[in-house]
Structure 1
């Protein structure tokens, strides 16, 4: 499946050069994610490449995959974050913002090419919730007052909040 991030978190349309292009493919027992995003050259995390806590404070592309949203207290979902410098973060949550497991190792490669970068992820399906029904993708970049929050499906509100699962898109069936 091919899609893209084309708007800010609150629904304003982005210029074409700021779009993030996404491809999802199921392969055996894994979800293969390939994305192509603008490279803004924000500072890299001061940590070795690999699983990195609090990666959302840096330039990232993010993916959320959620089970059905029957009860916000018990809903299970997985949050994935990737930086152009090779850092990543995998969080499994149960309940909104309630981290159950974090810093899980996965296969991720990042390649920068000019003003863009490409990420390629091989995610074991076992790291996703059972019965994934909803998903969204985001990108964050910039520093201070210039920080930008982008979304595949906008998440309306007073400020960016990527955990508003009720605004996610239906997850494509295999």
Structure 2
């Protein structure tokens, strides 16, 4: 499954190559998420070690992927080109119940001003019965801060990535190998 972020949060066309996100099931490893994105290096890297969770990662250059069910339970996974990540479990809008979970993330900055990231999200991190998703990319500083969305939130006065009514349907079951189905949601109850 592949997605391209081609719009700003409010539906305008972006003025650079899109962020490309691909999803692939990896039995025994989790859901493989590949990110290919322009590298803006703005803002600079967070003061946090690569490979570790970073609080408030959304304040930096980041790509975010959300997976939600119809009960407003959702997983938010953030990837930074500098190697940091942030994983959040939310029950209800912005109601974080777990954060800073471990994630196997590898990032590479390329010579052509792009970066690639690959992460394996354990199936236990996903809420039961995922039905919809959205993805976002953020970069820039101050008045040049740019917010981009796979599925824009037209009509809002400012960016809000937690508006689940703008998420779109995903056939999540096609990404779950039968051997992993029983692990869905386990991390939510531990």
Per the TM superposition, whether the score is higher than 0.5 is: yes
Q: Aligned residue for 2:73?
A: 76
**Which deviations, in whole Å up to 9, do the C-alpha atoms of 1:79-137 show, x marking residues without a partner?**
11111000000000011000000000010011000210001010001101111001001
Name segments (4+ residues, structure 1) moved above 3 Å: none
Pick the structure with more helix per residue. 2
Q: Spell out the pairing of 1:7-46 with structure 2 (5 A cutoff).
A: 7-15=7-15, 17-28=16-27, 30-42=30-42, 43-46=44-47
1-structure distance, mates of 2:27, 2:46: 33
Q: CA deviation at 1:149?
A: 0.0
- Number of residue equivalences: 168
- C-alpha separation between the residues in 1 aligned to 2:45 and 2:20? 22
Uncovered stretches (5+) of structure 2, i.e. residues with no partner: 175-190
Partner of 2:181: none
1:47 aligns with 48
The DSSP-based 3-state class of the residue aligned with 1:23 is strand
Distance 1:47 1:34 in 2: 22
Q: Please state how far the C-alpha of 1:172 moved relative to its aligned partner.
A: 2.4
Match of 1:2 in 2: 2
- Name the CA distance, whole Å, in 2 between partners of 1:155 and 1:58: 21
Give the match's secondary structure for 1:18.
coil
- Matched residue SS, 1:126: helix
The structure with the largest strand share of the pair is 1
When normalised by structure 2's length, the TM-score is 0.86
2:96 is aligned, of 94, 99, 110, to 99
| RMSD of aligned Cα (Å) | 1.0
Quick one: which of 126, 151, 154 aligns to 2:152?
A: 154
> Which of residues 138, 142, 145 is equivalent to 1:144?
142
- For 1:12 and 1:36, locate their aligned partners in 2 and report how far apart those are by CA, in whole Å: 21
